[in-house]
Amino acid sequence: MKPFSPTSHSLAKTLTIRMSPHVGATASVDRIMFNVVLALVPVCGYAIYAFGIAAILVLATAVASCVLTEHVLCRISGKDTTIGDWSAVITGLLYGLILPPSLPLWMVAAGGVLAIGVGKFLFGGLGYNPFNPSLVGRAILQATFPSAMTTWLSAPEARFQSIPSSSVAFPLMKPVYDGVTAATPLSQWKFSQVPTDTGQLFLGTVPGSTGETCAALILLGGAYLIARRMMSWRIPVSILVTVAVLSGLLHLIDPQRYAGPLFMLLSGGLMLGAVFMATDMVSSPITHAGRVLYGMLIGTLTVVIRVWGGVPEGIMYAILIGNAVAPHLDNWIQPRLYGAKNLKAETGATG
Amino acid sequence: MFSLVNHLLGTKTFAHGVHPPECKDETRGLAIHQFPFAPLLVVPLSQHIGKPAEAVVDEGAEVVRGQVLATADGFMSVAIHAPATGVIRRIALTPGIKGKMELAFFLEPYTASTQEVLEGKSLEAATATPEQIIDAIQAAGVVGLGGAGFPTHAKLKIPAGKSVDTLIINGAECEPYLTTDHRVMLEHADEVMIGIPYLLKATGADRAIIAVEDNKRDAAEVLRAALPQGLPVTVEVLPVKYPQGAEKMLITALLGREIPSGGLPLDSGAVCVNVGTTAELGHLLPRGMGLYERIITLGGPGIKKKGNYRIPIGTTLRYILDYVGVEDDLSTVVMGGPMMGAAASSLDIPITKGSTGVIAMTERQTGRMIDRKEYPCIHCGSCLDACPLFLNPSQLGLLAKNGRYQAMADDLHLMDCFECGCCTFACPSHIPLVQRFRVAKQAVRQTRRPAG
């Protein structure tokens, strides 16, 4: 039978055919990533205020090395460059924020290249990296330059007047530090049982990595992202609650040996790690239950490493181990299917 | 936890879902207008889910508006009625919205006819038996007018051993742009109230709930004012959320019950009927008439004379768009709402009983969807938080990309997906998730067919 075509009208149009839905939300990956950068701006601002030119140099070098690496690697492999999605900028910023401000810049650059190259691009780029790239960069530096990575400059008065000589140290030479080096609150506690005032910790007037010192601004950035639904609140909350509960219990047992929960929460990189590192979407679990478990695991590991480990800070290793477990959590935990609880009562009704 | 919180707050809703832009402002205030007769109406024999109807008139036959053209072929089938007084020129193939060629009557209306509708034997809800009502609905050719095209009588027939306590009249109309149910509730509340007793009697339900979304409060007021004495009907206003109009979501929102996976609404003691269908029954059954026209929203940025129209079944898109006028950069014509509706491949496709709207998109709008860059999945979990059935679209999407359709069905409940499109809508990486799931479901169905 032949089609019978009614040709009484004149409307001639070429129709575009697409599958529904024909409308989309305004959400997009680059917009999420850009907002993470925005949320990091106050943290970076404070880092520059606290550590001066040294912080500017570290952050700029970190971001530049990460973005450039991503661009060059994309070009080499014949793909379109992916630096427009802002994810390399985030990696660079976070990576810079967890480095000591006095770290020689050539080390910063080398670590940045490795963070993107090994931590991200080797696995297939955005969406495929099993570990948080900025932590990969830092872990490599920590293993390669343990001394430089644990030398902390106490914020000098003249921080905006001169470039610290260690920053511009010649590659592969031993850096010379000017001014006074200081211990972080965590190592002070670990090695000499000296506590630091929690008010100072909250406001960040203590030695430490470039951007990890001010808990208040980190929480502000996190709150902004959670309010815009661009970050899962479950991960930071479960990490912080786990750390608070575990360290609180230990503190109750022996207040002389184990620091209190507030000190544990506010010191070191825990805040930055819990809010901005562990929440990296790509390397964390996707289900709600998985995210809570992942946070509990990271919180527990952090406390264990800090209390019984050989190093004062454990958040970096805790998150990296959490990243390794995340895909398994995703395999084990599936959301509860709508209508599944009645499934056994009904038989034979499958479509 | 979610349901507990909502229970404590007294909010009636379902978990997950999305909030697409509503886009209803341009047509919600426009009263329903009668659409003129096209010079040629194309009436397919299959406008419902199930077997096509059997033609009872031949080519060349002169028919009267409302006359039966084809009768139901078995239980899962309904009759087809003439949308106009005229002559059957041909019975031939025509393009359908599902992409296949379908058999259809080509009816040329008489221009001089008064187009009076043929009336039949009246059926009173008070005196009729449930069986009589179900037969009458099938003979009237009524199918779900909310878009699915499922034969209404088949829904109302409660199998032995099952029982239904609640009848839900679905006035959620959660799809963007569509305002037909809204207008029906405003203008034909009386017919809704006439239709409900038939449905209550047929299903044996004790009570009926009319569910209306928050953006149609005026309709809820009109319905409440029209409630007759003694009829066990309440009107509930629900927060706006897509896909509230889906049976599963609506039953969960109103009753807190979940339809078992793979089951039917009546497995949880409820039956859902669209409010437009109910009003149509209230109009047709007392007069013994068959379904010959329906109310459709013509909207979207591509249409000039937007509005809600009562359009004869079988009017082609070409005639409709010609009549209301289109913008020059018209690019896609969607039948139904933009979340689940299908894009028409030809303007010769006629509107059928299941058409809720004709939404014309412009190049600017479609271009915005097409040009969006697809990123890899970043595991943000937006799709998991959007899926009203608590599926894992992220993982399903990865499996679909690798063609592992059977694993999707076996391990991740692919066949439960009703293609609402929330996952695609929410995805910040712009991955065409639901589109891939449709392909996967079709592939799984095809491998199952020879075995079953």
Q: Do B103 and B155 fall within a single domain?
A: no
Report residue A341's pLDDT band, with 50, 70 and 90 as the boundaries: low
Q: Do B240 and B140 fall within a single domain?
A: yes
Identify which of B369, B389, B394 has the shortest CB distance to residue A286: B394
Lowest-confidence pick of A5-9, A157-161, A221-225, B14-18 = A5-9
Is the bond into A21 cis (omega within 30 degrees of 0)?
yes
Report residue A11's pLDDT band, with 50, 70 and 90 as the boundaries: low
Q: Do A222 and A298 fall within a single domain?
A: yes
Check residue A9 and give its pLDDT. 46
Closest residue in B to A340 (Cα) is: B261
Query: Does B27 score more than 90 pLDDT?
Result: yes
Q: Do A71 and A161 fall within a single domain?
A: yes
Q: Do A318 and A188 fall within a single domain?
A: yes
Mean confidence (pLDDT) of chain B:
91
Q: Do A59 and A165 fall within a single domain?
A: yes
**Nearest Cα residue to A284 out of A131, A90, A122:** A131
Mutate to test the interface with A, among B16, B97, B175, B261 (most CBs of A within 10 A): B261
Closest residue in A to B335 (Cα) is: A20
CB contact under 8 A, A23 and B101: no
Would residue B117 count as lying in a domain?
no
Would residue A338 count as lying in a domain?
no
Sign of CA pseudo-dihedral B386, B387, B393, B395: positive
Residues A328/A332/A336/A342 CA torsion (nearest 10 deg): 170
Would residue A166 count as lying in a domain?
yes
Degrees (nearest 5) of the Cα angle A231, A237, A239?
A: 110
Q: Do B230 and B331 fall within a single domain?
A: no
Structural tokens at position B373 = 């860059």
Q: Do A168 and A222 fall within a single domain?
A: no
Query: Which chain B residues touch A234 with a CB distance below 8 Å?
Result: none
Final residue belonging to a domain, choices B366, B397, B421: B366
Report residue B314's pLDDT band, with 50, 70 and 90 as the boundaries: very high
Check residue A147 and give its pLDDT. 85
Report residue A305's pLDDT band, with 50, 70 and 90 as the boundaries: very high
B210 vs B5 pLDDT, higher one = B210
Q: Do A325 and A225 fall within a single domain?
A: yes
Would residue B372 count as lying in a domain?
no
Q: A255, A263 in Cβ contact below 8 A?
A: no
Q: What span, in angstroms and rounded, lies between the C-alpha atoms of B248 and B381? A: 22
pLDDT tens per residue across span B265-288? 989 999 999 999 999 999 999 999
Q: Do B186 and B236 fall within a single domain?
A: yes
Check residue A12 and give its pLDDT. 60
What phi and psi values does residue A261 have, to the nearest 5 degrees?
-60, -40
Residues 6+ apart with CB under 8 A from B206: B165, B166, B232
Would residue A3 count as lying in a domain?
no
pLDDT tens per residue across span A26-46? 889 999 999 999 999 999 999
pLDDT, mean of residues A188-215: 78
Final residue belonging to a domain, choices B301, B331, B366: B366
| Location of structure tokens 């991960």 | A235
Task: Tell me which amino acid residue B175 is.
Answer: E
Q: How many CB pairs under 8 A join A and B?
A: 225
Final residue belonging to a domain, choices B287, B310, B341: B287
Q: Do A55 and A177 fall within a single domain?
A: yes
Q: Do A175 and A191 fall within a single domain?
A: no
Query: Which chain A residues touch B380 with a CB distance below 8 Å?
Result: 32, 281, 286
Query: Which chain A residues touch B336 with a CB distance below 8 Å?
Result: 20
Domain that holds residue A151: 29-182
Check residue A157 and give its pLDDT. 67
Q: What span, in angstroms and rounded, lies between the C-alpha atoms of B310 and B296? A: 6
Q: Do A176 and A214 fall within a single domain?
A: no
Q: B63, B69 in Cβ contact below 8 A?
A: yes
Query: Does A7 score more than 60 pLDDT?
Result: no
Query: Does A156 score more than 90 pLDDT?
Result: no
Q: Do B223 and B320 fall within a single domain?
A: no
Would residue A19 count as lying in a domain?
no
Query: Does B235 score more than 60 pLDDT?
Result: yes
User: Whole-model pTM?
Assistant: 0.89
The number of distinct structural domains making up chain B is: 3
Would residue A319 count as lying in a domain?
yes
Would residue B375 count as lying in a domain?
no
Identify which of B261, B336, B375 has the shortest CB distance to residue A85: B375
**Nearest Cα residue to B422 out of B299, B297, B248, B260:** B248
Mutate to test the interface with B, among A10, A15, A33 (most CBs of B within 10 A): A15
Would residue A345 count as lying in a domain?
no
Would residue A346 count as lying in a domain?
no
Mutate to test the interface with A, among B107, B255, B324, B390 (most CBs of A within 10 A): B390
* Residue B19: CATH number of its domain: 3.40.50.11540
Query: Which chain B residues touch A286 with a CB distance below 8 Å?
Result: 379-381, 384, 392, 394-395
Structural tokens at position B28 = 């919600």
Query: Does A345 score more than 60 pLDDT?
Result: no
The number of distinct structural domains making up chain A is: 2
Structural tokens at position B219 = 């309709």
Final residue belonging to a domain, choices A149, A182, A215: A182
Report residue B451's pLDDT band, with 50, 70 and 90 as the boundaries: low
Lowest-confidence pick of A25-39, A175-189, B164-178 = A175-189
Q: Do B213 and B168 fall within a single domain?
A: yes
CB contact under 8 A, A16 and B343: yes
Check residue B55 and give its pLDDT. 94
Would residue A337 count as lying in a domain?
no
- Percentage of chain B exceeding pLDDT 90: 79
Mean confidence (pLDDT) of chain A:
86
Q: What span, in angstroms and rounded, lies between the C-alpha atoms of B95 and B104? A: 9
Check residue A6 and give its pLDDT. 46
**Nearest Cα residue to A316 out of A126, A119, A152, A124:** A119
Query: Which chain B residues touch A128 with a CB distance below 8 Å?
Result: 376
Q: Do A176 and A190 fall within a single domain?
A: no
Identify which of A126, A128, A346 has the shortest CB distance to residue B260: A346
- Number of Cβ within 10 Å of residue B368's Cβ equals 13
Mutate to test the interface with B, among A4, A8, A22 (most CBs of B within 10 A): A22
Collapse the DSSP code of A182 into the 3-class scheme (helix H, G, I; strand E, B; otherwise coil) and give the result: strand
Would residue B377 count as lying in a domain?
no
Identify which of B248, B338, B391 has the shortest CB distance to residue A22: B338
Identify which of A4, A343, A349 has the shortest CB distance to residue B90: A4
pLDDT tens per residue across span B119-166? 888 888 889 999 999 999 999 999 999 887 899 999 999 998 889 999
Q: Do A242 and A169 fall within a single domain?
A: no
Q: Do B155 and B222 fall within a single domain?
A: yes
Domain that holds residue B72: 33-110+290-366
Q: What span, in angstroms and rounded, lies between the C-alpha atoms of B148 and B352? A: 11
CB contact under 8 A, B347 and A3: no
Three-state SS for chain B is CHHHHHHHHCCCCCCCCECCCCCCHHHHCCCCEECCCCCCEEEECCCCCCCCCEECCCCCCEECCCCEEEECCCCCCCCEECCCCEEEEEEEEEECCCCCEEEEEEEEECCCCCCCCCCCCCCCCCCCCHHHHHHHHHHCCCECCCCCCCEHHHHHCCCCCCCCCEEEEEECCCCCCCCHHHHHHHHCHHHHHHHHHHHHHHHCCCEEEEEEEHHHHHHHHHHHHHCCCCCCEEEEEECCCECCCCHHHHHHHHHCCCCCCCCCHHHHCEEEEEHHHHHHHHHHHHHCCCCCEEEEEEECCCECCCEEEEEECCCEHHHHHHHHCECCCEEEEEECCCCCCEECCCCCCECCCCCCEEEEEEHHHHHHHHCCCCCCCCCCCHHHHHCCCCCCHHHHHHHHHCCCHHHHHHHHCHHHCCCCCHHHHHCCCCCCHHHHHHHHHHHHHHHHHHHC
Q: Do A51 and A169 fall within a single domain?
A: yes
Q: Do B307 and B415 fall within a single domain?
A: no
CB contact under 8 A, A6 and B384: no
Collapse the DSSP code of A40 into the 3-class scheme (helix H, G, I; strand E, B; otherwise coil) and give the result: helix
Check residue B156 and give its pLDDT. 92
Q: Do B414 and B302 fall within a single domain?
A: no
Q: Do B432 and B418 fall within a single domain?
A: yes
pLDDT, mean of residues B91-99: 90
Check residue A5 and give its pLDDT. 47
Q: Do B222 and B360 fall within a single domain?
A: no
pLDDT, mean of residues B158-178: 93
Q: What span, in angstroms and rounded, lies between the C-alpha atoms of A323 and B14? A: 33
Query: Does A126 score more than 70 pLDDT?
Result: yes
Q: Do B137 and B233 fall within a single domain?
A: yes
